Homo-oligomer: A and B are copies of this chain.
């Protein structure tokens, strides 16, 4: 999984075997917790889930950002790969569409990564580099898709982060209906980006009942 000598940007010295094991358990636990609860999950809850002491967590990851960077490095790498693959697509519009759907699905699948993608977190260099490379590949794709005449001429690469922020907003607040609502949003956005006759939206309209299930995540200390 991690063959490179230095990972997560931090040139940590060689760890003792038990420390290495704990580190892996922490990342694994954090992956699960962040995925379900988003980045607002507390360090203590992650330590508990990992079965290690709080001090161990903080020794390995001095700030929450360090942990976030370590946890989502591979997801950001998947994002980069998706962008590079989309760029190779012969039909730029198909590539554009596939990439946008993929990255939004990555968000829908993981509340934590949704937030990472939605905000310019002061994350590790490696992560930001992958993000940047994905963005550049996407920008090339945008130019080609416009040249094909399939993408709105006034679309710009910077519209992607806006869509990611919007999608993250839906996912954060839509509760049970989040996956469905997200697909609906993305479908409508892509339809708006396209030039030419509209295609039907794939997902069914969200029932009002599901939207009623929207939840407030304000801490209700009681």
The contact of A169 among B168, B201, B216, by CB within 8 Å, is B168
- The verdict on A162 contacting B189 (CB below 8 Å), with A214-B119, A216-B119 known, is no
Give the residue name and chain of the B residue nearest to A209 (CB).
B158
Q: Is A185 an interface residue (CB 8 A)?
A: yes
Q: Is A205 an interface residue (CB 8 A)?
A: yes
Q: Determine if A211 and B154 form an interchain contact, defined as CB atoms under 8 angstroms apart.
A: no
Which residues does chain B contribute within 8 Å of A156, judged by CB atoms? 205
Bound Cα distance from A173 to B212, whole angstroms: 24
Bound Cα distance from A193 to B163, whole angstroms: 16
The distance from the CB of A68 to the nearest CB of chain B, in whole angstroms, is 10
Q: Determine if A159 and B205 form an interchain contact, defined as CB atoms under 8 angstroms apart.
A: yes
Q: Determine if B192 and A191 form an interchain contact, defined as CB atoms under 8 angstroms apart.
A: yes
- The verdict on A207 contacting B158 (CB below 8 Å), with A39-B218, A188-B192 known, is yes
Q: Determine if A184 and B159 form an interchain contact, defined as CB atoms under 8 angstroms apart.
A: yes
Bound Cα distance from A40 to B215, whole angstroms: 15
The contact of A120 among B64, B118, B188, B211, by CB within 8 Å, is B211
Q: Determine if A184 and B169 form an interchain contact, defined as CB atoms under 8 angstroms apart.
A: no
Q: Is A161 an interface residue (CB 8 A)?
A: yes
The distance from the CB of A107 to the nearest CB of chain B, in whole angstroms, is 11
Which residues does chain B contribute within 8 Å of A166, judged by CB atoms? 166-167, 169-170, 185
Give the residue name and chain of the B residue nearest to A197 (CB).
B195
Bound Cα distance from A152 to B184, whole angstroms: 14
Q: Is A174 an interface residue (CB 8 A)?
A: yes
The 9 A-B pairs with the shortest beta carbon distances in the complex, nearest first, are A169-B169, A192-B192, A166-B166, A156-B205, A120-B214, A165-B170, A191-B192, A165-B173, A162-B181
